[in-house]
Amino acid sequence: MIEGVQRRATKLVKDVEHLHYNNRLEHLGLMRLYTRRIRSDLFDTYKIINGIYNVKTELFFDYDQSGRRGHSRNYLKEDLGWISENLHLVTE
C-alpha cells in the first residue's frame, strides 16, 4: 500500500513521469520500500551484535558455543538465514 504511494508520488516529478517505476526510482536516487526495510533490518542487526544498541543480544541471537577458533561473535547459522536470503536486495 505505501509502495503505491511512493509509486504515485514519483509520477509527479517532472521529466521522469514517463519512465517505468524502477527507472524513476533509479533516476531520483531512491529504492523500493521493501528493499529499504531489509537494509534497515541489516543495519539494526549489525548494531545489536556490536553493542551499539543497548539490548541483550541473547534475546535475538543464539551464540555458537562450540569452542571453535574465531572471534567472540559466532552465531548459529540458522538464526542468520534471513540475512543471507535477503542480502541480494541490498547489494543490487
**For position 76, what pLDDT does the model report?**
60
Residues 56 and 72 placed together within one structural domain of the fold: yes
The whole-number pLDDT of residue 28 equals 94
Q: From CA 49, how far away is CA 2, in angstroms rounded?
A: 30
Residue-wise pLDDT for 50-64, tens only, equals: 888 888 877 777 766
Same domain as 45, residue 89:
yes
| H-run or E-run covering 71 | none
Which of 21, 36, 27 minimizes the C-alpha distance to 92? 36
pLDDT at 21: 92
Total domain count for the chain? 2
pLDDT in tens, 3-51: 889 999 999 999 999 999 999 999 999 999 888 888 888 898 888 888 8
Domain that holds residue 70: 38-92
Both 43 and 79 in one domain: the answer is yes
